[in-house]
Amino acid sequence: MRSPFLSDDILLAIEKPARYIGGEVNMVVKDPDKCDIRFCMCFPDVYEVGMSHLGIQILYDMFNRRQDTYCERVYSPWVDLDKIMREKHIPLFSLETQTPIIKFDFLGITLQYEMCYTNILQVLDLSGIPLRAKDRTEEDPIVIGGGPCSYNPEPIAEFFDFFYIGEGETSYDEILDTYKANKKAGGTRADFLRQVSHIEGMYVPSLYEVTYHEDGTLASFLPKYPDVPKTVKKKVVTDLSNTVYPEKPLVPFIQVIQDRVTLEIQRGCIRGCRFCQAGMLYRPIRERNVDWLKDVAQKMLDSTGHEEITLSSLSSSDYSCLKDLVYHLIDNYKDQYINVALPSLRIDAFSLDVMKKVQDVNKSSITFAPEAGTQRMRNVINKGLTTEDILGGAGKAFEGGWTKVKLYFMLGLPTETDADARGIAELAEQITEVYYRIPKEQRKGKVSVNVSTSYFIPKPFTPFQWAGMATKEEFLSHQRIVQSSIREQLNNRSISYQWHDSDTSVMEGIFARGDRKLNDVIEEAYKRGCIYDAWSEYFHYDVWKEIMDEKGITIDFYNTRERSADELFPWDFIDIGVTKKFLYREYERSKAEQISPNCRRKCSGCGAQRFGCGVCVEPRDEFGTSLCYDGKDTGVNG
């Protein structure tokens, strides 16, 4: 019988003890003594967030398919347990076998957002693993980082033994085989890491030397040894219908954020929005075969008993067999009370029909993500959504009975003016006008338009990686313009407005385009008590600001200044396929307010072609347009 690592007294004293007991349906049970490799997978946030993440489920399943490996899980203890563990010197433990993390061979940490960085240190510290890779011994687990934030790993480079750059499905067998062989040969930790650096996609920070110019910018970033590669090439899965996928995902006992089957229908995006990092990192778009998806959906629903299935992708409307798939799911599962959730859909006749079938029109809302308020601004960011698209879509939705509209925007976009900010309010007003044009007897009371803005943060590997980020003052000034111009609108009582916190965005900006100098800042912030920075109630900007001031880290250097064309970036040693030349071309086009075609309409030569898969190999007509193209220049709406 399994028994909890924590005592009954502790489990009864904390919130939601089920976060720490494991034992969920589809948890893998193995005899650890019969496995050569013990791998602990970590999402450095609370259980309910971590358990909602598809990537971990994919890797958990993949690792456990290996007989010689037992993959377990760990998440960040919530603040209540964190405090008790520190007071009583209780080490962090895995969920499956309730074993201290320090006993594992590997600790793999997924890096989904920048604001989880202090939680990485929390996990290492509570586990008893030295925070810096250089201080670890042969007894400590090898700490691996992966996920979107590993595409600029430098701010946290010194906490990791190596980073896996790319999609996890491709290279772990080679890594684990190398580990076993090295152990058998009596090799050391350093020997193993050196061998790992030879595997494509792997970055071992300790094997690189960084030098800086006097102004703080990067002067050089070079391997210390000739056998270590100068650039690290991203790994991609070329055939997504012929790879591992968790047919028996874990089913948490407690309610988590994504309490449903997640079906990833495709990876990547054709749209090329210039602010979007995922849109560049996961190029080229690769679809999964529709019959394969139907089969996997059935197996996952059977094995989990979930009441809902959701399609996951960056822009579902661009999936070429979407209608087939969606109607199949609705027709097959409706009578079993299984709900089909469809995020990121373009609002058109098809999506409205589908939504009507799966949602309550009176309660649900229609979502648009125009991202910017004026056409000029949308051209700058290459968001191919026009005012006509939005008003037309909203009109159809109103005819269908919907009365709630959500609009998502970003503030502080490059070249943004006061007029662009006012455009947000004006667009909201235009939507209300569409509604009130419907004869009174045909409409259902008031319309409700919910405007929400977040602040734009330039990210690595996007055309805006050179751009200056707006200052906090600029953010706030534009936010106030939106607020006051909404109030000036005729139908202002139908429009509500919400905005994000600007301090969090400032820190996220610093981490996003940061360099190795930030390792000290993050460690110091952790030592002064910062964890769960992604949770606004635990984010202490004043502490961060104080440390940055002490260490001479300026917001201007990392965020505000526009970088020069020839600046060497901390992440330039990573090759994601999309070239720096292409990104710069896109940056210049954005300044000229020129839009670029999507991948299906016409190839822009971004460089991802070298992977030889997905949209890059779709057949094309004489004008270079993919035969899979649906002719819609509008991508995702929400």
Partner 1 sequence: MRVRIRFSKFGCARFLGHLDLMRYFQKAFRRAKLPLAFSEGYHPHPILSFAQPLSLSYTSDGEYFDMELTMVVPVSEIFERLQAAMCDEVRLNKVSALPDYVPQTKKVTGMSLITGAMYAISLENMPEDIEACLRRFMELKEYTVVKTTKNGTKDCNLREGVYDLYLYDNGNETTIYESGSFDYSKEERAQALTNANLYHGRAILVTLDAGSERNISADMFLKGILSYGEYGELSCKKAVHRMDLFGNYEERKVPLWKIEL
Closest CA to 285 of 61, 571, 606: 606
Contact 272, 633 (CB under 8 A): no
Residue 255 binding partner 1, by CB under 8 A: yes
Question: Binding to partner 1 by residue 79, rule CB under 8 A?
Answer: no
Compute how many other C-beta atoms are within 10 angstroms of the C-beta atom of residue 448.
16
Instruction: Copy the structure tokens of residue 423.
Output: 């455009």
Q: Which residues pair with 366 in a beta bridge?
A: 405
Q: According to CB under 8 A, which one of 13, 222, 254, 349 is a site residue for partner 1?
A: 254
In this structure, what DSSP letter does residue 552 have? Answer: T
Candidate residues 36, 98, 233, 395; the one interacting with partner 1 per rule CB under 8 A: 98
If the CB atoms of residues 303 and 430 are measured against partner 1, the closer one turns out to be: 303
* Binding segment toward partner 1, per CB under 8 A, in 219-227, 233-241, 305-313, 433-441: 305-313
Part in contact with partner 1 (CB under 8 A); list of ranges 125-133, 198-206, 295-303, 311-319: 295-303
For helices 472-488 and 418-436, give the axis angle rounded to 10 degrees: 30
The correct pick among 251, 438, 555, 617 for binding partner 1 (CB under 8 A) is 251
Query: Does 210 contact partner 1 by CB under 8 A?
Result: no
Between CA 602 and CA 620 the distance in angstroms is 9
Total site size for partner 1, rule CB under 8 A: 32
Which two tokens mark 21?
Answer: 């007991």
Which of 219, 254 has the CB closer to partner 1? 254
Q: Which stretch binds partner 1 (CB under 8 A): 84-92, 179-187, 194-202, 301-309?
A: 301-309
Is residue 253 near partner 1 by the rule CB under 8 A?
Answer: yes
4 is a contact residue toward partner 1 (CB under 8 A): yes
Nearest to 101 by CA among 109, 92, 110: 92
Nearer to partner 1, 93 or 160 (CB): 93
Cis peptide bond prior to 284, omega within 30° of 0? yes
Question: 221 or 333: whose CB is closer to partner 1?
Answer: 333
Residue with Cβ nearer partner 1 (337 or 623):
337
The only residue of 138, 184, 211, 337 in contact with partner 1, by rule CB under 8 A: 337
Residue with tokens 């996609």: 201
**Cβ atoms within 10 Å of 516's Cβ, excluding its own:** 19
Query: Does 304 engage in binding with partner 1 (CB under 8 A)?
Result: yes
In the complex, the smallest distance separating the C-beta of residue 158 from partner 1, rounded to whole angstroms, is: 36
Of 28 and 476, which has the nearer Cβ to partner 1? 28
Using CB under 8 A, pick the residue from 267, 306, 383, 601 that binds partner 1: 306
Binding mask 8-27 for partner 1 (x = CB under 8 A): x--xx----xx--xxxxx-x
If binding is defined by CB under 8 A, does position 330 make contact with partner 1? Answer: no
Q: Mind spelling out the 3-state secondary structure of 455-515?
A: ECCCCCCCHHHHCCCCCHHHHHHHHHHHHHHHHHCCCHHHEEEEECCHHHHHHHHHHHCCC
Q: Among residues 15, 68, 135, 302, which is the contact residue for partner 1, using CB under 8 A?
A: 302
- Are the C-beta atoms of 552 and 258 separated by less than 8 Å? no
CB neighbour list of residue 437: distance below 8 Å, 6 or more residues apart: none
State phi, psi for 41 to the nearest 5 degrees. Answer: -95, 135
Q: What six digits make up the tokens of 616?
A: 């890059």
Using rule CB under 8 A, residue 198 touches partner 1: no
What is the distance, to the nearest Å, from the Cα of residue 418 to the centroid of all Cα atoms in its chain? Answer: 30
Q: Which is nearer to partner 1, 15 or 209 (CB)?
A: 15
Q: Are 408 and 371 in contact (CB under 8 A)?
A: yes
Residue 12 CB, nearest approach to partner 1 (Å): 6
Q: Which residues form the interface with partner 1 (CB under 8 A)?
A: 1-4, 7-8, 11-12, 17-18, 21-25, 27, 29, 98, 251, 253-255, 301-307, 336-337, 360
